[in-house]
A and B are shown apart, each in its own frame.
Chain A
Amino acid sequence: MDARNLENLLRPAEGETLVFDTNPVLNERLTHYCPGCLHGIAHRLVSETLHELGVAERTILVAAVGCATFTYDYFNVDGLEAPHGRACAVATGVRRARPEAVIFTYQGDGDMAAIGMAESLHAANRGERITSFFINNTVYGMTGGQMAPTTLLGQKTTTTHDGRRMDREGGPVHLAEMMAGLDGVAFAARCALDSVKHVREAKKAMRKAFEVQLEGLGFGFLELLSSCPTNWHMDPVAASKHIVEAMIPVFPLGVFKDKTADSPSVVQKEGVPHA
């Protein structure tokens, strides 16, 4: 398809409305993520939320280590890179220096739930006015699919050849529930990125996670169940199905804490109809 042809196609005809477009906060650069990796959806949701809240100009992103290391390349906001696992600690420093900034961290499970567990939980417990996005895909993606703290029992990885065992490696870490137990946390939820419905719910939860920061209520935390087609050795469609069949039963979706007043749940719990 040549450029002129595409230009014509992107011009709305009479009676047509452009109902889906990118937004100015999302950088045009093509991501380095593998085909079908759901990081791309999470990035779009974050950028849309920042754009809708109108805070992108004063937003500072703290990137983690892992596949999300290059996150700062994909957002048109200021950003800096934290040492492995220390995004919340670095974000705390940013908060001390820039009280007016909107600050968020974007971390994977190996980053936030393993090496950075202490920094993350203590930042949350201090009630730091930051928002953290935790991408849970049950493996260390960038380094080649080793076991992460969130790896499911029985899941085979390069470091658990016969599957993770409770008596040997322990069980998967439920970070959203742990966060909800801390007094400094204003919002803690878990959403998934496997389907249109869940993605739309994730967007609403993401907005809440930023709003508690903007309202000064405390730490905002959102866990996003994501896939890793490459290290799961699945095609992207099968990987999304795997989220529903294997991950959601272990990591239930829902809002575990919400300090905002009259807050109806934005996430429909599996099997529980909306009131």
Chain B
Amino acid sequence: MSRVVFLEDRCKGCRLCVAACPVQILRPSGRFNHHGYEVMEMSGTCTGCASCAVMCPDVAIRVFRTAKSRGHAA
């Protein structure tokens, strides 16, 4: 399974990643970083398309893709 890693200290909680995810596996986590912004979490099977990372204004997302789960064009 591919996965996304949130650099939580960079997150400003804008949720553009949540809206961008084509398989809708991102959601607010209920946890807050030291700036006071609510950070996101992944829940579900990630395809590794990196749409979330492309739309993140704060470059707070890293995406790891496994060969098998490649479902979307990068």
Contacts and interface: CB of A to CB of B under 8 A. Distances in A.
A236 B66 CA distance: 31
A12 B57 contact: no
Contacts of A16: 2-3, 64-66
Interface string A31-51: 101111111110010000000
A30 B66 contact: no
A17 B58 contact: no
Interface residues of A, number: 36
Interface in B25-69: 37, 48, 50-51, 53-59, 61-68
Interface in A1-50: 1, 6, 9-10, 12-13, 15-22, 26, 30-31, 33-41, 44
B12 A36 contact: yes
Contacts of B66: 15-17
Contact of A26 (B8, B59, B64, B68): B59
Given A6-B7, A36-B12, A21 B57 contact: no
A19 B57 contact: no
B23 interface: no
Contacts, number: 87
A39 B12 CA distance: 14
Q: In which size bucket is the chain B interface?
A: 35 or more
A31 B67 CA distance: 34
A228 B20 CA distance: 18
Contacts of B3: 16
Given A19-B48, A35-B37, A36-B14, A30 B57 contact: no
A240 B19 contact: yes
B8 A40 contact: no
A33 B57 contact: yes
A10 B62 contact: yes
A114 interface: no
Interface string A51-86: 000000000000000000000000000000000000
Given A41-B54, A200-B54, 19 more contacts: A6-B7, A10-B5, A13-B64, A16-B66, A18-B64, A19-B50, A19-B63, A19-B64, A20-B50, A20-B61, A21-B62, A26-B59, A31-B57, A36-B16, A36-B57, A38-B57, A39-B57, A196-B54, A196-B55
Leading 9 A-B pairs by shortest Cβ distance = A40-B57, A36-B14, A35-B12, A20-B63, A20-B53, A35-B14, A236-B14, A20-B50, A16-B64
Interface of B: 2-3, 5, 7-10, 12-16, 18-20, 37, 48, 50-51, 53-59, 61-68, 74
Interface of A: 1, 6, 9-10, 12-13, 15-22, 26, 30-31, 33-41, 44, 195-196, 199-200, 229, 235-237, 240
